[in-house]
Amino acid sequence: MSSHPLVPVTRTRVKLVVFAALTAVALAAGLPGWTVAALALTSLAIPLAVALAGGRPLLRDLLLPPRRAARVSGLAHTPEERERFVT
């Protein structure tokens, strides 16, 4: 088994969000029940397929938003250099 998935997780996450949104729109618009059910089942099948393909770590990557790196001020100074600038 390879260390990375065949389809990027971000692409799969976008598809999951789109299907969930389409399910909500179909429900709000009063579309037939089979349409809403098909969209809802597809929305549920995406995480299930990811879990079966990549296990818990890949499912966690899909469902949890990516952590953003801490913002850097743009100045790449070490704490000692910053201390010198302040004094």
45-87, pLDDT tens digit by residue?
Answer: 999 999 998 889 889 998 987 777 656 555 566 767 766 666 5
Q: What is the pLDDT of residue 19?
A: 97
* 79 within a domain of the structure (yes/no): no
- Number of domains into which the chain is organized: 1
Q: CA 84: distance to chain centroid? A: 42
**Is position 19 within any domain?**
yes
Does residue 15 fall inside a structural domain? yes
In terms of residue numbers, what domain contains 39?
1-66
Specify if 47 maps to a domain: yes
Which residues are within 8 A (CB) of 5 and not within 5 positions of it... i.e. 6 or more apart? 53, 54, 58
Position 83 in a domain = no
Tell me, what's the pLDDT at 26? 97
pTM score, whole prediction: 0.68
Provide the pLDDT confidence category of residue 34 given band limits of 50, 70 and 90: very high
Percent of the chain with pLDDT over 70: 74
Compute and round to an integer the Cα radius of gyration of the chain: 21
